[in-house]
A = this chain, B = another copy of it.
Amino acid sequence: MKSRAGILVTGTEVLSGLIIDRNGPWLSERLREAGLDPAVIQIVGDRPGDLLGALRYMASEGYAVIVTSGGLGPTADDLTAEIVGRFAGREMVLDRELEEKIAAILQSITARWPGLDPAAIRVSNRKQAVIPRGATVLDPVGTAPGLVVQPLDGQGPTVVVLPGPPGELRPMWQMAMETDELAAALAGAPTYRRGIVRLFGLPESEIANTLRAAEAAGLELDQLEVTTCLRRGELEISTLYEPAAQPAYQALIDFIRERHGRQQFSEDGATIDDQVAALLADRTIAVAESSTGGLLAARLTDRPGSSAYFLGGVVAYSNEAKSSLAGVDAGLIARFGAVSEEVARALAHGVIERFAADVGVGITGIAGPGGGSDEKPVGLVCFTVAVRDGAEITRTVRLPGGRSDVRERATTVAFHLLRRVLTDEADAELPQAPTAADRVSG
C-alpha cells in the first residue's frame, strides 16, 4: 500500500482560469515516480482560510506528503509560507542568512533595471526570508526560496513548499528530493520505472481490447499501472512498475508489439518529433503547406539545432502562391483542384527543386469550417513525402474535428509519413533489405 500525497496549487489567477496550471500534473508524475500515490490536485485562490482548509483536508485524509506551488512572492497576497507555518505549528522567524542570499540575487536584477528603488525592493523581499522556524530552505532558482516543513509535533504530513513559475519549481523539486525530511517521508517507498509505448492509427477502444486480451492470456497486469491516453491522434500507453515487475512489463510490450506492430512507432519514450529529427540527421528538408498554414514548418523548427537540416518552407495558401513559390503547374490545379494528390505531389517535388533539398513535403487540404463539398469535405487532406530520386509516399486522409484539430492532426500525419519514408530509405540503404512493400505512391 503506497503512501498518499496531495498537491496544492495556489493563486487566484490560476483558479480564475487566467493561467493554466501545469505544475499540478507535473508534480503528480514526479510523486508517482517517487513511489507515492498522488490522490488529489487542489487549486485554491490566495485566501488564508482556503489554503489552511485544503492543508487540513489533506492531513485528515492521512496524506504523508503535501507539495504546494505558488504564493511565495514578495507581495501581500503571497501567503503560502506563513499558512504552512501555522499548519505545522511553527512560528515565523527571519532567516538572516537567507535574507543575504536574496539580497545578493536582487542586486544583480536591480543593476539591470536602474529605474527601480533598491531600498523598497529590499524591504518587500525581506518578507521572503521569513520562514517557519526549523524549516529546511531550498535555495532560490529565481528570487523565492522553497521550504520543506515537518509538523512540530511530528504528527501529520511533510509539506514541500515550491514557487509557482515552472522554471523555478522543477529544479527546486529535485533539491527537495535530496533533503533528509523528504527522504524520511519516502523511506520504504518503492522506486518506480516508467515505460511509454506510442502508437499511431489505432482507436483507443482497440487498445482496451488488447489489454483485456493480455489479461486473458495470463499476463500479470496487476503488477503494472497502465494508463492510456489519446492525443493529437497518437495513442500513448504509459506504464509505471517496480523494478521487480520488469518481466511483466516486457511481456506486455511484446504482446502490444505483436498485435499492433504496424501502428506502434516508439517503445523507448521517443516522440515522433525525436525520431524524425534523428532520421533527418544527414539530410535536408523543405516543406510546402497549404491547409496547415505554417504549422509543419513551425513544428520542425521547434527543436534547437533544426537549422542543420531544415532549409525552409512555403505556405502556399493561394493558387498563385502554389505556382510561383513551389512551381505547381497551374493546369494541374485547374484539372484536379488545389486539394488533390496531384497537387500534393507537385508541392513536395516543387520545394525539393526550389530549396535543393533532399526531402520534400507537400500538404494541401480543407481545414474548414468553410470550403468543403460533398466530394471534398472539410477535413480532407492530401500529403506527399518525397525523397529526391528515392522513396515517395502519397496519402489522402479525412481528419475529424474543427479547424484547429484538422490543422494539428495533419501536422502529426505528416510527421508519421516522414518517419515511414525515411525509415524505408534507411532500410533500402542496407544491401539485404528488399524494396519496402508500402513504398508506393497514390
A37 to B87, CA, bound (A): 24
Contacts A19-B231, A317-B307, A325-B354; A301 near B294 (Cβ below 8 A):
yes
How many copies of this chain? 2
A174 to B397, CA, bound (A): 35
Q: Which residue of B lies closest to A28 (CB)?
A: B17
Contact of A325 among B44, B298, B312, B356 (CB under 8 A): B312
Verify if A39 is at the interface (C-beta below 8 Å from B).
yes
Contact of A313 among B25, B300, B314 (CB under 8 A): B314
B39, A50: Cβ atoms under 8 Å? yes
Contact of A41 among B42, B236, B355 (CB under 8 A): B42
B39, A40: Cβ atoms under 8 Å? no
B311, A300: Cβ atoms under 8 Å? no
Verify if A119 is at the interface (C-beta below 8 Å from B).
no
Query: Which residues of B have CB within 8 Å of A24?
Result: 17, 43
A229 to B17, CA, bound (A): 10
Query: Chain A contact residues: over half helix, strand or loop, or mixed?
Result: mixed
B315, A294: Cβ atoms under 8 Å? yes
B314, A312: Cβ atoms under 8 Å? yes
B28, A40: Cβ atoms under 8 Å? no
A403 to B317, CA, bound (A): 27
Verify if A53 is at the interface (C-beta below 8 Å from B).
yes
Q: Which residue of B lies closest to A30 (CB)?
A: B17
| Among listed A8-16, A136-144, A264-272, A414-422, interface-contacting one | A8-16
Q: Which residue of B lies closest to A42 (CB)?
A: B42
Verify if A244 is at the interface (C-beta below 8 Å from B).
no
Interface residues of A (CB under 8 A from B): 12-20, 22, 24-26, 28-29, 32, 38-45, 47, 50, 53-54, 57, 61, 75, 208, 227-229, 231, 236, 238, 286-287, 289, 292-298, 300-302, 304-307, 310-318, 320-321, 324-325, 354-356, 368-371, 403-404, 407
